Amino acid sequence: MSAPARGDRVLLGPPGPVPSAAGRFGEFGGRFVPETLIPALEELEAEFRTAWSSEPFRSEFAGLLESYAGRPTPVTECHRLSDRLGVRLLLKREDLTHTGSHKINNVLGQALLARRMGKQRVIAETGAGQHGVATATAAALFGLDCVVFMGAVDVERQALNVFRMELLGAKVVPVSSGSATLKDAINDALRDWVATVESTHYCIGSVVGPHPYPWIVREFQRVVGDEAREQSRAILGGNDPDVVVACVGGGSNAIGTFAGFLDTRSRLVGVEAGGLGLESGKHGASLARGVPGVLHGARSLYLQDEHGQILEAHSISAGLDYPGVGPEHAELAASGRAEYHDATDEEALSGLVLLSQTEGIVPALEPAHAIGWLAREVGKKIPLGSTVVVTLSGRGDKDAEQVAQRLGAELNK
Amino acid sequence: MNLEKEFRAKRDAGRKLLVPYVTGGLGGRWTDVVRAVADAGADAIEVGIPFSDPVMDGTTIQEASQRALEIGATPAGIISELKTIDVHVPLVVMTYYNPVAHAGHERFANALKASGVDGAIVPDLPLDELGSWAVAADAADIETVLLAAPNTTGERLAAICARSRGFVYGVALMGVTGERDHLTKQAGTMGARCKAATDRPVLLGVGISNASQAVEAASSADGVIVGSALVRRLLDGGGPDEAAAFVAQLRAGLDQRIG
């Protein structure tokens, strides 16, 4: 690799709050894993603790974010859509990063950690394929072997990303157990890791999983919020936005965004996948309808039946199709610092079309939920005239085929 | 019955301990399978309470769990059926933490006790997270068996052995459950390390697939747990007779080695 840029343009704020020694955010979090994984999690925690307070590590990370991922990403003021909705809307443009979503931020940080720990192989789970593509990208950049686990259903609906991962040299393993989506991909990644932990780093893509992952991923994603805060202040005459909105599956783009605004007076809103509507039972709204439980190593809120079996989530967007949520979100909801709502599949689709046709920006289906929710709630939960920052976590190319199937006929009318 | 007392007595009498695993709720005759393997020479029986997301399990137990759930198995249902099983050896349930947490620690522990269960294995509840489950289990006299892995450090292994009840479950390889062609070298090392760390009975499990592997593994420990190899026979259509025949083979191997 050539000498990285110094990363001076990247607004990497100081490290954020450290969770308790047991990895708890309030009553959520923890480390509920088979004994075999304990040594690796302890090693990872120690490595991250040292690295994250080390100036050389931080500047190498910032350098990669700048010279490789294309940070800082801009904040774009949406004049036409603002007029249409009756708010002042700013978009944090994670869709403009290399690989097209915020996932690259976390992956570059974890690749640096893997290298520090001398791990030659990385594994990852992916839903929409964005985290898989980002991991495959970082693996290629760092010369690491890469295996990505992906639900068989998602392999079907995200064929383009499967090809991208393979092109980047990664092996994609379709997972057909359970619901064959993101949850099951994480199960199989964990099973692989139990067998390979001494040579392999598990590059988790969201703020889920056992301690220290929710903390690490939040810290690597907080650049989104740190940048957005400074950039929106510059646009808003030194003021913070009234509302900050991001979509929530596992919750990494939202937690990264919120991290930059936690100590401001901005309202923080996470938008979950409403699927076919909360009443239908087919959704991914674990903050709204989940109950406390333990899955994938952490206590958080999960969709489950009366016997404690985890339920399948449903969402038009593979990236939000997860029956749980990161433990820090569960705590932010419990403390009331953040509020969580949902947008349905249909609302996400109309959000996608709305942003495409008013601003010339085609969002991924995941952040389209945030746009769709905002469009629905202006004048209701969002007062007219509010200043609003929405994190546009990724671009819509990966969803073009699926959206074409859903909307093609309609658009041609 | 007290699992540890039972195991210590048998071990001290020179017997190698054999614990077959049966997925609860797998087919209408699963309780007959439990009875049959008890009669065939098991020293305790591990009954799996299926969970939707069994991350410590390979494909065989995953499939068994999924099939059992599809035909309506529930934790409460399985625990209540266990009450009807009157065998002469201890029963130990194996499940994941979420169904336990969902039911509530005390409620779950008390339900187990009321059904005559003596121990519990919860592989995703490591030492550091035992917390209030251990309190509830101890109070209900349910022995919580802890797992130690090949990469567990010495200091931690000592702590695990000290907190484990019933016996110490040494994971015989780096990986999830499932049959393997050969026993790894890690099995012998695991057995020896656990034995050096504790006087409690030490059983090895995960990957032990046939009588000769059981004998080999038991040479470094007090006994073995055999799951996937038995469950595969059930998935392939076998019933109590096939299960009993397989367990009898394991028993004969272990006894011969002693004799």
Across residues A124-128, what is the average pLDDT?
92
Q: Give yes or no for residue A153 having a pLDDT over 90.
A: no
Instruction: List, in order, residues 6 or more apart from B131 with CB less than 8 Å away.
Output: none
Chain A residues touching B163 at Cβ < 8 A: none
pLDDT band at A409 (very low <50, low <70, confident <90, very high): low
Asked if A196 lies within 8 A of B174 by C-beta distance, the reply is yes
**pLDDT score, position A1:** 47
Number of domains chain A contains: 2
A218-245 mean pLDDT: 98
Do A232 and A206 fall into the same domain? no
State whether A154 and A273 are in the same domain: no
The 10s digit of each residue's pLDDT in B208-257 is 999 999 999 999 999 999 999 999 999 999 999 999 999 999 999 999 86
Residue type, A39: P
Longest dimension (CA), chain B: 47
Q: Which residues of A247-286 are buried (b: 16+ CB within 10 A; e: fewer)?
A: bbbbbbbbbbbbbbbbebebbbbbbbbbbeeeeeebbbbb
A86 shares a domain with A109:
no
Last residue of a domain, one of A180, A213, A246: A213
Residue A146 is assigned to a structural domain of this protein: yes
Residue A3: pLDDT over 60 = no
A253, A307: one domain: yes
Q: Residue A401: pLDDT band by 50, 70, 90 thresholds?
A: confident
Would an 8 Å CB–CB cutoff place B70 in contact with chain A? no
Specify if A10 maps to a domain.
no
Answer whether residue A243 is part of any domain.
Answer: yes
The answer to whether residue A341 is catalytic is: no
- Whether the full predicted model's pTM is greater than 0.80, yes or no, is yes
Give all domains of chain B, ordered by start, each with its CATH number: 3-258 (3.20.20.70)
Do A82 and A142 share a domain, yes or no? no
Residue A316 inside a domain? The answer is: yes
From A196, A213, A230, the end of a domain falls on A213
Domain identity same for A176 and A279: no
Residue A59 lies in a domain: no
* Predicted local confidence at residue A5, as pLDDT: 58
Chain A hits for B174, Cβ within 8 Å: 36, 194-198
Residue A5 lies in a domain: no
For residue A312, is it within any domain? yes
Based on its alpha-carbon atoms, the radius of gyration of chain A, rounded to whole angstroms, reads 19
Q: Is A39–B151 a contact, with Cβ atoms under 8 angstroms apart?
A: yes
Residue A2 scores a pLDDT above 60: no
Are A172 and A260 found together in one domain? no
- Shortest distance, CA A301 to any CA of chain B (angstroms): 11
Query: What band does B258 get if pLDDT is binned at 50, 70 and 90?
Result: low
**Per-residue confidence (pLDDT) for residue A412, from 0 to 100:** 64
Residues 6+ apart with CB under 8 A from A188: A125, A149, A173, A175, A177
Q: List B residues 193-222 in contact with A (Cβ-Cβ < 8 A).
A: none
- The enclosing domain of A371 has a CATH number of 3.40.50.1100
Q: What is the pLDDT of residues A177-226, one digit of tens each?
A: 888 889 999 999 999 999 999 999 999 999 999 999 999 999 999 999 99
Tell whether A365 and A334 lie within a shared domain: yes
Q: Using H for helix, E for strand and C for coil, what is the string for A84-117?
A: HHCCEEEEEEHHHCCCCECHHHHHHHHHHHHHHC
Provide the pLDDT for residue A323: 96
* Each residue's pLDDT tens digit, A51-85: 999 999 999 999 999 999 999 999 999 999 999 99
Residue A206 is predicted with a pLDDT of: 97
Q: Which residues of A touch B62 (CB under 8 A)?
A: 177
Catalytic residues of B: 46, 57
B114 close to A (CB below 8 A)? no
Residue finishing a domain among A213, A237, A271? A213
pLDDT number for residue A194: 94
A203 and A326 both lie in a single domain: no
Summarize the confidence of residues B65-86 as an average pLDDT. 97
Cβ atoms of A361 and A95 closer than 8 Å: yes
What would the mean pLDDT of B166-176 be, rounded to a whole number?
A: 97
CB of A371 closer than 8 Å to CB of A355: yes
Provide the domain limits for residue A125.
24-47+65-69+102-213
Contacts of B76 in chain A (CB under 8 A): 307
- The pLDDT assigned to A179 comes to 83
Q: Return the pLDDT at B259.
A: 43
Asked whether residue A338 is domain-assigned, the answer is yes
* Nearest partner of A128 among A325, A316, A344, A281, judged by Cα: A316
